[in-house]
């Protein structure tokens, strides 16, 4: 099959753990773009919001005008993947303590919820992705816990019977850090989400251009979905 232009996926690079996500995306055949200003979101098909300190990330997001830009990005049907602090920023409700969040996925999270003894640890959890159950390597670092899963939210992975990865439409979240392992499963899944959404958006643009009799450009793709 002829390869289209490469899929471009942004990684929010305000603070925290963004470098390793770029490496994980490269393994899936996608081009990672570090996003430091809201205007840069226009050039990417999907976005990863990495781990870090959610209070610091929030402060920077407000300072740089990211909140309306991310709402628009989501409304346009472009996928967003939040890991750890990224999940906290995307959740509907946050506790311990309560703080502002974008509310783009209907889950309730508790910050730093594993207590001092278990602040950081590694585990293997079960993921149900594309109809198959697989074991996924999970690194938890001062991780939040998903305390409430809304009716429209699908649990994609669990550890000790508790949701640790979930999806609602084009929003994917994980309480753990898949970028810190060599296991490509989770990034591959997100690349496929982005690839499908990009094809849908390009399809809509193509249909509109066809109606006007204008030429169109090809859809991007990522290796994972070829």
Residue 166 CA to residue 133 CA, distance in Å, equals 15
Contact 95, 220 (CB under 8 A): no
The binding track of 21-60 with respect to ligand GLN, each residue x by CB under 6 A or -, is: ------------------------------xxxx------
DSSP 102-151: ---EEEEEETTTTTGGGSEEEEEEEEEETTEEEEEEEEEES--EEEEE-T
The binding track of 93-132 with respect to ligand GLN, each residue x by CB under 6 A or -, is: ------------------xx--------------------
Residue 186 CA to residue 127 CA, distance in Å, equals 9
Identify which of residues 143 and 222 has a Cβ nearer to ligand GLN in the complex: 143
User: To the nearest whole angstrom, how small is the minimum distance from the Cβ of residue 205 to ligand GLN?
Assistant: 35
Based on the shown chain and the rule CB under 6 A, indicate whether residue 141 belongs to the binding site for ligand GLN.
yes
Based on the shown chain and the rule CB under 6 A, indicate whether residue 88 belongs to the binding site for ligand GLN.
yes
**Residue among 84, 187, 191, 222 flagged as catalytic:** 84
Residue 208 CA to residue 177 CA, distance in Å, equals 40
Based on the shown chain and the rule CB under 6 A, indicate whether residue 85 belongs to the binding site for ligand GLN.
yes
Tokens matching residue 89:
């920023």
- The residues that are catalytic are 84, 177, 179
Q: Which residues of this protein are in contact with ligand GLN, per CB under 6 A?
A: 51-54, 84-85, 88, 111-112, 141-142
């Amino acid at each position: 099959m002829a390869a289209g232009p490469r899929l471009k996926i942004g990684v929010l690079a305000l603070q925290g753990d963004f470098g390793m996500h770029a490496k994980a995306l490269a393994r899936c055949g996608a081009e990672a773009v570090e996003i430091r200003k809201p205007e840069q979101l226009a050039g990417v098909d999907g976005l990863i919001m990495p781990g870090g300190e959610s209070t610091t990330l929030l402060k920077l997001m407000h300072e740089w005008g990211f909140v309306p830009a991310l709402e628009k990005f989501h409304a346009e049907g472009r996928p967003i993947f939040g890991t750890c602090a990224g999940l906290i920023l995307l959740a509907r409700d946050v506790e311990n303590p309560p703080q502002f969040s974008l509310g783009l996925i209907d889950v309730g999270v508790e910050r730093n919820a594993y207590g001092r003894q278990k602040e950081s640890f590694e585990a293997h959890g079960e993921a149900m992705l594309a109809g198959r159950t697989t074991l996924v390597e999970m690194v938890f670092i001062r991780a939040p816990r998903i305390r409430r899963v809304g009716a429209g939210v699908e649990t994609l992975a669990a550890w000790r019977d508790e949701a640790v990865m979930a999806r609602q439409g084009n929003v994917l979240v994980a309480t753990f850090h898949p970028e810190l392992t060599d296991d490509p499963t989770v990034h591959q899944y997100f690349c496929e989400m982005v690839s499908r959404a990009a094809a849908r958006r390009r399809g809509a643009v193509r249909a509109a251009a066809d109606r006007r009799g204008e030429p169109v450009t090809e859809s991007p793709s990522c290796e994972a979905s070829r």
